[in-house]
Amino acid sequence: MTYRTAHQNHPISLPGSPRAAQILHIQYPLPLMTDGPALNEDTTSEALRALLAEIDSALADAENAITTADSLPRLDELRINYLGKKGRLAGLNQKFGQLSAEEKPLAGRQLNNRKAEIVRIEKERREQLEAAEIRRRLEAEAIDVTLPGAAIASGHLHPLERTRREMEAIFRSMGFRVMESPEIETEWINFEALNIAADHPARDMQDTFFTERGRVLRTHTSGNQIRTMTELEPPLAIISTGKVYRCDSDVTHSPMFYQTEGYLVDKNISMGHLKGVLNAFLQSFFGANVGTRFRPSFFPFTEPSAEVDVECIFCKGSGCRVCSQTGWLEVLGCGMIHPTVLRNCGIDPENWSGFAFGVGLDRFTMLKYGINNIRLLYENDLRFLTQF
Ligand code: DAH
Please check whether residue 33 lies inside any domain of the structure: yes
Of all residues in the chain, the percent with pLDDT exceeding 70 is 88
CB half-sphere exposure, 323, CA atoms < 13 A:
20
Give the Cα separation of 241 and 236 in Å (integer).
Answer: 16
Out of 176, 307, 334, 341, mutate this one to test ligand 1's pocket (max ligand atoms within 8 Å of CB): namely 334
Please check whether residue 151 lies inside any domain of the structure: no
Per the CB < 8 A criterion, the answer to whether 203 and 223 are in contact is no
Give the Cα separation of 362 and 248 in Å (integer).
Answer: 14
Model confidence at 158: pLDDT above 90: yes
Q: What is the pLDDT of residue 13?
A: 41
Out of 171, 208, 299, mutate this one to test ligand 1's pocket (max ligand atoms within 8 Å of CB): namely 299
- Whether residues 232 and 358 fall in one domain: yes
User: Structure pTM?
Assistant: 0.64
Q: For ligand 1, what atom is nearest to the CA of residue 358?
A: 8
Q: What value does the mean pLDDT of the chain take? A: 87
- What CATH number is associated with residue 164? 3.30.930.10
Instruction: Count the neighbouring beta carbons within 10 Å of the beta carbon of residue 387.
Output: 10
- Whether residues 132 and 214 fall in one domain: no
Residues with CB under 6 A from ligand 1: 220, 222, 261, 299, 302, 333-335, 356-358
Please check whether residue 318 lies inside any domain of the structure: yes
Per the CB < 8 A criterion, the answer to whether 358 and 278 are in contact is no
- Whether residues 299 and 163 fall in one domain: yes
The domain in which residue 34 lies consists of 13-140
Q: For ligand 1, what atom is nearest to the CA of residue 225?
A: 12
- Contact residues for 152 (Cβ-Cβ < 8 A; gap 6+): none
Q: Is the N-terminal amide bond of 300 cis, ω within 30° of 0?
A: no
Query: Most confidently modeled of 89-103, 191-205, 221-235?
Result: 221-235
Q: What is the pLDDT of residue 47?
A: 83
Out of 220, 241, 303, 362, mutate this one to test ligand 1's pocket (max ligand atoms within 8 Å of CB): namely 220
Q: What is the pLDDT of residue 4?
A: 43
Question: Which long-range contacts (C-beta less than 8 Å, at least 24 apart) are formed by 164-172?
Answer: 164/241, 164/258, 164/260, 164/361, 166/285, 167/239, 167/241, 167/260, 167/281, 167/285, 167/359, 167/361, 167/364, 168/239, 168/241, 170/280, 170/281, 170/284, 170/285, 171/239, 171/262, 171/281
- Whether residues 77 and 166 fall in one domain: no
Model confidence at 286: pLDDT above 80: yes
Model confidence at 130: pLDDT above 70: yes
Q: Give the 3-state secondary structure of residue 266.
A: strand
pLDDT band (50, 70, 90) for residue 211: confident
143 or 260: whose pLDDT is higher? Answer: 260
Our CA dihedral for 99, 103, 106, 110, rounded to 10 degrees, sits at -30
Q: How far is the CA of 77 from the centre of ligand 1 (A)?
A: 86
Q: For ligand 1, what atom is nearest to the CA of residue 359?
A: 5
Average pLDDT of span 236-242: 98
- For residue range 294-310, list pLDDT tens digits in order: 999 999 999 999 999 99
Provide the domain count of the chain: 2
Per the CB < 8 A criterion, the answer to whether 200 and 263 are in contact is no
Average pLDDT of span 152-172: 94
- For residue range 27-84, list pLDDT tens digits in order: 555 444 444 455 555 567 888 888 888 888 888 999 999 999 999 999 999 999 998 8
Please check whether residue 73 lies inside any domain of the structure: yes
Q: Give the 3-state secondary structure of residue 378.
A: coil
Q: How far is the CA of 357 from the centre of ligand 1 (A)?
A: 6
Q: How far is the CA of 358 from the centre of ligand 1 (A)?
A: 4
Q: What is the pLDDT of residue 18?
A: 52
Q: For ligand 1, what atom is nearest to the CA of residue 262?
A: 12
Q: What is the pLDDT of residue 34?
A: 45
Please check whether residue 146 lies inside any domain of the structure: no
Our CA dihedral for 100, 105, 107, 108, rounded to 10 degrees, sits at 130
- Whether residues 131 and 172 fall in one domain: no
The residue whose CA is least distant from atom 8 of ligand 1 is 358
47 or 378: whose pLDDT is higher? Answer: 378
For the chain, count helices (H), then strands (E). Answer: 12, 11
Q: How far is the CA of 158 from the centre of ligand 1 (A)?
A: 25
Per the CB < 8 A criterion, the answer to whether 276 and 175 are in contact is no
The residue whose CA is least distant from atom 6 of ligand 1 is 358
Q: For ligand 1, what atom is nearest to the CA of residue 222?
A: 1
Model confidence at 124: pLDDT above 60: yes
226 or 49: whose pLDDT is higher? Answer: 226
